[in-house]
Amino acid sequence: MGGRTWRAVRVLTAATAIGLIAGCGSTIEGSPRVEGSSSSGDTEQFTALLEECNAVADEQIAQTVGADAIQRGFFGAICRWDAVGANGPVKVTFNWFETGSLDTEKSTAEKLGYTVEASTIQGRRAVVMRPPGDPGACGVTVGSPSSGVVGWWVQFQAGAADPCQAASTLADLTLNLSS
């Protein structure tokens, strides 16, 4: 290649690099936060990774669902327990979504054909959800004390007790423990 061609290649390369660098800059509105933190009402209860599954003690969960025995299952963004007692086998699920919203939970439940009711727990908006054809199952989701939403699902296999009452009580205990 001649000197003129190399010069053209260098100019084109430099122009491309400057264009890419200029195009990568952007301004993001807001204030920086440490990963995992929230903007209001942080509590250690809801900021420690995988600790949210301990928001309500296993013994309190067992008592709430009328179980004599409870066993922890999967723990992560969704926590699960299997219990058994006078009401028969019970499945309990807890979730905490830092960036979740009640509106999203409500619209998802409606899309699944669930019966959805508005409620309140300790003055906070809540959503009560019942899946069709399963009277032994109910979920309650409420605004988290820090950010996002927390939810409890209770499923009585024998349909012997009110799953919505149990899920509401667990949500109430979660809010009490995080205050």
pLDDT at residue 34, rounded to an integer: 47
DSSP 3-state of 147: coil
pLDDT at residue 89, rounded to an integer: 95
pLDDT at residue 76, rounded to an integer: 72
Percent of the chain as helix, strand, coil, to the nearest 5: 35, 30, 35
Asked whether residue 59 is domain-assigned, the answer is: yes
CATH number of the domain encompassing residue 53:
3.40.1000
Report the run of H or E that residue 58 belongs to, with start and end: helix 58-65
pLDDT at residue 53, rounded to an integer: 83
Asked whether residue 38 is domain-assigned, the answer is: no
Task: Residue 65: give the domain boundaries.
Answer: 44-178
Asked whether residue 60 is domain-assigned, the answer is: yes
Asked whether residue 3 is domain-assigned, the answer is: no
Asked whether residue 120 is domain-assigned, the answer is: yes
Asked whether residue 29 is domain-assigned, the answer is: no
Q: Are 150 and 144 in contact (CB under 8 A)?
A: yes
Q: Measured over all CA atoms, what is the biggest interatomic distance in the chain, rounded to whole angstroms?
A: 90
Asked whether residue 162 is domain-assigned, the answer is: yes
- Note the pLDDT tens digit of each residue in 10-36: 555 555 555 545 555 555 555 565 444
**Distance, CA of 79 to CA of 96 (rounded, Å):** 9
pLDDT at residue 81, rounded to an integer: 95
pLDDT averaged over consecutive 10-residue blocks of the chain (179 residues)?
A: 55 51 54 49 49 87 95 84 93 92 95 96 95 94 88 89 95 79
Q: Per the structure, how many domains does the chain have? A: 1
Asked whether residue 14 is domain-assigned, the answer is: no
